[in-house]
Structure 1
Amino acid sequence: MATGETGFDDVTFDLVSVQYHSLKAGHDYGQYVRDADNAGRQDIADFFRKVMEDDSARAKQCHEFLKELSGSSESGPAVS
């Protein structure tokens, strides 16, 4: 795999990026849930909870892939 300027291969970089954005979004969704709860919109609060769960699962899957790649020749020198 090609190693970019960061020392990470493209796939590892992409997984780290998706993991970061999923975790960041999950943090933000907590406020969205509170806003919907405060507005009395349980249906929307439940929607945001589901979105938060989906992003949490996405971040966890990225973590599993990163563990699999860690230390392999596929990951590039930054993860080896």
Structure 2
Amino acid sequence: MATGETGFDDVSFDLISVQYHSLKAGHDYGQYVRDARNAGENEIAEFFEQVMAEDSERARRCHEFLNQIRQTSKAGPAVR
């Protein structure tokens, strides 16, 4: 596995990136839910809540995968 200048292998870096963006988006979606509720758009608010839950699950899966590869020789020094 290639290790870039960051000390992270490509797969670890990719998982961390997806995890970060999923968590960041989830934070932003909270505001979208509030905006939709304040506008009386409950169906849209529910849609944003669903998207937020999907991103939360995505971030959780990334965390599991990172823990999984950390215990293998595939992990770069920054993940161990």
- Bin of the TM-score, shorter chain as denominator length: over 0.9
Partner in structure 2 of residue 33 of structure 1: 33
Q: Matches of 2:7 and 2:73 in 1, distance apart?
A: 12
Larger mean CA deviation between 64-73 and 17-26 belongs to 64-73
Larger mean CA deviation between 70-79 and 16-25 belongs to 70-79
Q: Matches of 1:52 and 1:78 in 2, distance apart?
A: 29
Partner in structure 1 of residue 48 of structure 2: 48
Q: Which runs of 5+ in 1 are unaligned?
A: none
What TM-score does the superposition give when structure 1 sets the normalisation length?
A: 0.96
Partner in structure 1 of residue 79 of structure 2: 79
User: Counterpart of 1:44 in structure 2: which amino acid?
Assistant: I
Aligned residues: 80
Q: Matches of 1:64 and 1:5 in 2, distance apart?
A: 24
Q: Matches of 1:8 and 1:50 in 2, distance apart?
A: 32
Kindly indicate whether residue 16 of structure 2 is the aligned counterpart of residue 16 of structure 1. Answer: yes
Q: Deviations over 1:29-68 (max 9, x none)?
A: 0000000000000010000000000000000000000000
Deviation at 1:77, TM superposition (A): 1.2
Partner in structure 2 of residue 64 of structure 1: 64
Q: Matches of 2:59 and 2:4 in 1, distance apart?
A: 22
CA RMSD of aligned residues (A): 0.7
